[in-house]
Amino acid sequence: MLSFFKGKPPECWVIKQIDDDLLHLCGRGLATARERPKARQAKLRSGRYEGPVSFNNSGLVLNSRLFAALVPLEALRIDDQDRAQWRDRLWQVSWVPQRCWTYEGRLTTQASAAGGRIGLISVEDVAGIRAKATPQAAAPRHSQLYGLEPLEGITTEKGAQQGQAGNRWSGPAAVGGRERRDRNDR
């Protein structure tokens, strides 16, 4: 009823990681803490906002500690070539997919041609894990395959008797000592 007094939560750009000349950007979010919108906006501008961040496109609500920075919309501008103007610098932008929003390790980038244009996508950096893995720890790559020919004609004794009696649940399907039964075969 009196929702017009509350005001809309301030929108912000959610930055997952800041590299030398690259911003790993999650997208737009809303600062939804239980403070007045003006107080939240002031904290966003000063870089001191702590609290929940909800995402417009997914309905997900995450804690601000998962992100490197939350920037008010007017403080960061993005152009057509995925370059951002922020803090009087020009940054390259790498878009972070939703699966990486809660990842707490380093991110790296990959080139992607999504939507007909080439851009950067952030992915989890697994180089440290790969370096720790030893070749001996990997499972052996050989396997033995056996044909099904030796199993043909094997049935249980009871299954063979039922097969002779014309029961539809016995015969070659009853392989390896197990047989199928229906409710009336008790």
pLDDT of res. 165? 57
Region label for 74, one of left (φ > 0), alpha (ψ between -120 and 50) or beta (otherwise): alpha
Percent of the chain with pLDDT over 70: 72
Tell me the residue type at 125: D
Residue 119's DSSP bridge partners are: 112
How big is the chain, counted in residues? 186
Residues 117-121: contacts with CB within 8 Å, 24+ apart? 119/82, 119/93, 119/94, 119/95, 120/22, 120/82, 120/92, 120/93, 120/94, 120/95, 121/94, 121/95, 121/96, 121/97
24 and 84 Cβ atoms separated by less than 8 Å: no
Closest to 73 in 3D by CA, of 107, 117, 25: 25
Token readout for 162 is 């039922």
* Residues in CB range of 133: below 8 A, 6 or more apart: none
DSSP structure class, residue 135: G
DSSP labels for 23-61?
A: EEEEEEEEE--SS-HHHHHHHHHHT---SEEEETTT--E
- pLDDT per position in the chain (186 positions), as tens? 454 556 788 999 999 999 999 999 999 999 998 888 889 999 999 999 999 999 977 889 999 999 999 999 999 999 988 999 999 999 999 999 999 999 999 999 999 887 777 899 999 998 888 888 866 656 667 777 777 666 666 666 655 565 555 555 555 555 555 555 666 655
Query: Which runs of consecutive H residues, i.e. helices, occur in the chain?
Result: 37-46, 127-132, 157-165
Instruction: Give the span between the Cα atoms of 108 and 94, in whole angstroms.
Output: 9
CA 6 to centroid of chain Cα atoms? 34
pLDDT of res. 1? 44
Average pLDDT, the chain: 82
Domain boundaries, the chain: 7-127, 147-178
